Structure 1
Amino acid sequence: MQYFPMFLDLKAKEVLVVGGGEVACRKVETLVRANAIVTIISPAIEGFLRGLVDRGECHWVQNFYSHEMMDRRFVQVWATTDNPDLNHQVYRDATKLGILVNVVDDLPYCDFITPSIVNRGRFQIAISSGGASPVLVRNIRQKLEYILPQNLSLLGDFAASKRNDIKQKLPSVDLRRKYWERFFADPAVESAANRQQLEQRYQSLLSDNVTESGSVTWIEFGADFELLSLKALRLMQQAELVLHSIECPFVFVDSVRRDAERLVYRDEGQLNELLSEANKRALRIVVFIEQRSAKYNLLIGDGLRLKLAQS
């Protein structure tokens, strides 16, 4: 992993942008939306930036950049001019003061890079190739824009408003997690267009019993991860315990819920012991087994076995 992914809180923090052209427009717009205090240094700026300045959303120093303008009060610096020598001077000046700097489209002179972003209100999805393939990143973003529901912001705001209420209704963390999983998977919730519709489903689902009962799902693994069904992927994200053999490819195990416990089993006997202990804890369990294997049939019994699709 070349870059450490993180989201930076720039609210009320000072950021310097050197340059006033089209590239600066894109960067400044995002910075202003993040509530940063933006200072632009450039002898001239685009009309879009002038509008932001006129509305008091950022500051403009109408001058050529010089090293005296660099200041430790800036937590981040952007060099966006079409003059490489000037951009590199900005980089050196910022680096001397220990300030993180990005020279746009000049990767060796970047302490950080910005990802492609999908925005849905409270939700942000960042995608990066480490600067290797911007076109591929854009294609991935377009796919996510198409897949993600447009009401995602509405769902996030509603869930946030119910944090205290759900704690009173469902006392344990596990019960609340199971409830929200059920809530967000509900078709009426997925298609809700307003808060009133969400409130109706919220109250209706609360009236049903949310139990702490466990479950076991058997999922086949093979050479091609993409042959997993959507149902298998969904149950993998609900699992609290994952049991797998050493032969199971890492991509299968790594794709389960991040906070799920992961244990390796050697044979059927050890797997049976692990299952017995987990069932006492009423956990939701996913067991990865080899594709078309018959040696676990006695353990599976009438349980749910999800097979890989045919390639």
Structure 2
Amino acid sequence: MRYFPLFMDLLNKAVLVVGGGEVACRKVESLVRAGASVTVVSPQVEPYIADLVQQGKCEWLQNFYSSECLTSKYVQVWATTNNPDLNHQVHNDAKNMGIMVNVVDDTPFCDFITPSMINRGRIQIAISSGGASPVLIRGIREKVESLLPMNLAIMADFASSKRNDIKNTYKTVDDRRKFWELFFRLPTVVDSKNNHELEKAYQKLKENKHEFVHGCTWVEFGDDVELLSLKALRLMQEAERVFYHKDCPFEFIDLVRRDAERELFKDIADVSDTITTLKQEGARVVVLIPQHFGEHRLVGACDTAVCLASEK
């Protein structure tokens, strides 16, 4: 993984964009939407940028770029001109001042790159190939876009509005997480069109006082991670603790929940007591085992097993 994925808070932060053409328009649009304080330096700008300036959404320095344009107040600099020499000058000036810089379409001169974005209000999904294949990424984005419902925005806003209420109802982080997992899987929530429908489902779920499911599930791994079932993936994403056999490929481990505690084992007997204790504490546990692994039958900690799909 060449690039570390990061969402940067640019609200009211000063950003300099060098250039006023079509490429600059795309960058300025995204920066303004993120709440950045954008300054564009260019002798001329496209009508779109001129309109933003007239609306007071960004500033325009109507001049050619010079090193004096760049000051320490800027947290980011974008070089978007069609003049490589000028773009590289901007890069050198920014590096000398310790400011993050992006030279558009010139990856070796970028401290960061921008992914392809999918926006559903508060929900943002970033997809990147590290600059290797924008066309491939565009195809992936189209596929993901077709799968994501438009009501994700109202669902995210609703969940944000209930943060304090849910903290008063469920005292632990784990219980709050389990509540939201149940909530967002409700058919009425999945098909919701407004806050009224979400509120009705929310209150009903709270009143039912659900007993959250916990336990231990064994998930088989093999050579092909794509043979994992949807159920296995869901359980791996829900588990608080994950134990994995020493031969488990990283591709399987990488699919578990990011904040789950992970522990390697060589012999299942070494962790069976820990698994039993975790079950008693109400934790959700997943154990990644090799295919046809019979040793787990000797351990009384397993509730269910999810077998890897057989290869055809």
Task: Work out whether the TM-score is over 0.5.
Answer: yes
Q: Deviations over 1:151-176 (max 9, x none)?
A: 11111111111111112222222221
- For residues 11 and 268 of structure 2, the distance between their equivalents in structure 1, rounded to whole angstroms, comes to 55
* Aligned-pair CA distance for 1:143: 2.0
Partner of residue 71, structure 2? 71
Partner of 2:53: 53
Unaligned runs of 5+ in 1: none
Letter in 2 for 1:9: D
- Secondary structure of the 2:294 match is coil
Q: Contact 2:296/2:302 (CA < 8 Å) preserved in 1?
A: no
RMSD of aligned C-alpha atoms?
1.9
Query: Following the alignment from structure 1 to structure 2, what is the Cα–Cα distance between the partners of residues 60 and 292?
Result: 66
Aligned to 2:237: 237
- Between the aligned partners of 2:127 and 2:87, the Cα distance in structure 1 is 25
Relative to 1, partners in 2 of residues 1:117 and 1:61: Cα closer, same or farther, differing over 3 Å? same
SS of the aligned residue for 1:296 comes to helix
Does 2:152 match 1:152?
yes
| Mapping for residues 95-106 of structure 1, pairs under 5 Å | 95-106=95-106
Tell me the distance in 2 between the aligned counterparts of 1:99 and 1:268.
Answer: 50
Does the CA contact (< 8 Å) of 2:91 and 2:101 recur in 1? yes
* Mapped contact 1:25–1:49 kept (Cα < 8 A): yes
Indicate if the aligned counterparts of 1:12 and 1:36 stay in contact, CA closer than 8 A: yes
- Tell me, in whole angstroms, the C-alpha distance in 1 between the residues paired with 2:2 and 2:268: 40
Question: What do residues 51-100 of structure 1 show as CA deviations (whole Å, max 9, x unaligned)?
Answer: 11121111112222222222222221111111111111222222222222
Q: SS at the partner of 1:244?
A: strand
Q: 2:218 touches 2:302 (CA, 8 Å); kept in 1?
A: no
1:275-294 paired onto structure 2 within 5 Å = 275-294=275-294
Shift of 1:237: 1.0
Q: Aligned equivalents of 1:76 and 1:272: distance in 2?
A: 51
Percent identity reads 55
Q: Distance in 2 between matches of 1:184 and 1:32?
A: 31
SS at match of 1:131: coil
Distance in structure 2 (CA, Å) of the matches to 1:129 and 1:142 = 15
Question: Which residue of structure 2 aligns with residue 209 of structure 1?
Answer: 209
CA shift at 1:215, angstroms? 1.2
Cα distance per residue 1:85-121 (max 9 Å; x no partner): 1111222222222222111111122122111111111
1:224 aligns with 2:239: no
Cα gap change, 1:107 to 1:264, in 2 (>3 Å): closer
Q: CA deviation at 1:229?
A: 0.9
Q: Which residue type is aligned with residue 81 of structure 1?
A: T
**TM superposition score normalised by structure 1:** 0.93
Name the count of aligned residue pairs.
311
In 2, are the aligned partners of 1:175 and 1:211 still within 8 Å (CA)?
no
- Summarize the alignment of residues 25-36 of structure 1 with structure 2, pairs less than 5 Å apart: 25-36=25-36
- Cα distance in 1 for partners of 2:170, 2:96 equals 54
For 2:213 and 2:310, the matched residues in 1 are separated by 32
Partner of 2:130: 130
**Residues in 1 aligned to 2:287 and 2:91: alpha-carbon distance in whole angstroms:** 52
What is the 5 A alignment of 1:12-51?
A: 12-51=12-51
The CA deviation at 1:210 is: 2.9
Task: Indicate the larger mover: 71-80 or 269-278.
Answer: 269-278
Secondary structure of the corresponding residue to residue 263 of structure 1: strand
1:166 is paired with a residue whose SS is helix
Amino acid at match of 1:120: R
Residue 193 of structure 1: CA displacement? 0.8
CA distance in 2, matches of 1:115, 1:283: 36
Verify the 8 A CA contact 1:77 1:101 in the aligned structure 2. yes
Worse-superposed segment, 193-202 or 284-293 = 284-293
Counterpart position of 1:82: 82
Tell me the alpha carbon deviations over residues 170-219 of structure 1, each in whole angstroms, 9 at most, x when there is no partner: 22222211111111111211111111111111111112223356312121
Greater CA drift, 190-199 or 94-103? 94-103
Instruction: Specify every segment of 5 or more residues in structure 2 that has no aligned partner in the other structure, as ranges.
Output: none
User: Which whole-Å CA distance do the structure 1 matches of 2:135 and 2:104 have between them?
Assistant: 16
CA distance in 1, matches of 2:214, 2:246: 24
- Cα pair distance change 1:272/1:68, threshold 3 Å: closer
Q: Is the 1:178–1:210 Cα contact (8 Å) retained in structure 2?
A: no
TM-score of the pair, normalised by structure 2: 0.93
Q: Distance in 2 between matches of 1:44 and 1:19?
A: 8
